[in-house]
Chain A
């Protein structure tokens, strides 16, 4: 089973890459862009048929490795 995870920076945490991307987009005349936040996307194949169990397992992975909860939030989709 494939589980997808999105890790994003928490609100208020400085994201200089996102800022640089936003400024570049503005420079390319995408003037409506007011903010860009950059994150990470994971696709995880787990050998498990039960979706609830698989997601619980992935949640542990998020807490222990994939995200640093001081600065990041994770979403399992």
Chain B
């Protein structure tokens, strides 16, 4: 399986993602934002970081870069596009995903482990995943998911909410909501569920000694679903 990680000026999780994808059997290639075409891929990843220094709005400048047209075409033809953190912000700015990530409710940069509940498994990302609750890492200043009431209703009606913040038992409430996101939303799909944007970083949870391995579960499972 081939994957491509797009690098924008200011991306800083691109290499971690490269390590994670290669570790679990993807043949990954790095693609520069100013290229026009993406090499043949089964998965495109928009990594975390601070593309263009978060100028204007997070992800807004990156969403107009040269490579994005190819990403949008790939997504519209059913290809898998995964956006992590800043990648999620970029996906909302391209319009591939609804809503927007606002500044965290309490104005602080949050960097910690959280638990998230997998809300939908009828998709290529989470199908067959052994766990329902994952421990993953978040590191962001703008992770407060916001959308209009109509958009929220559409997300709920079509089961597009992918993961929500919760505690280790799966309880979703205000206390377990780190950034003020509507309905504790940590990640969403597009309607066809081939595009996934999420704030947590699975690529940071792939080493038993350094972190935890719930990220490993995610990548192994994803690769299994694509084979």
Contacts and interface: CB of A to CB of B under 8 A. Distances in A.
On whether the two chains bind one another, the answer is: yes
Interface of A: 13-14, 16-17, 20, 65-66, 68, 70-71
A15 to B, nearest CB: 9
Given A14-B102, A17-B103, A20-B107, A68 B146 contact: no
B60 interface: yes
Contacts of B146: 13-14, 70-71
Contacts of A16: 103-107
Given A14-B105, A71-B102, 17 more contacts: A14-B144, A14-B146, A14-B180, A16-B103, A16-B106, A16-B107, A17-B103, A17-B107, A20-B107, A65-B60, A65-B64, A68-B57, A68-B60, A68-B100, A70-B99, A70-B151, A71-B100
A65 B180 CA distance: 25
B102 A13 contact: yes
Instruction: Give the 8 A-B residue pairs with the shortest CB-CB distance, closest first.
Output: A16-B107, A70-B100, A68-B100, A71-B100, A16-B103, A68-B57, A20-B107, A16-B105
Contact of A70 (B103, B107, B148, B180): B148
Nearest to B147: A70
Contacts, number: 33
Contacts of A13: 102, 146
B93 to A, nearest CB: 7
B55 to A, nearest CB: 11
Interface in B161-202: 180
B56 interface: yes
A45 B151 CA distance: 36
A70 B145 CA distance: 12
Name the residue in A13, A14, A20 with the highest tally of chain B Cβ atoms < 10 Å from its Cβ.
A14
A9 B60 CA distance: 16
Contacts of A14: 102, 105, 144, 146, 180
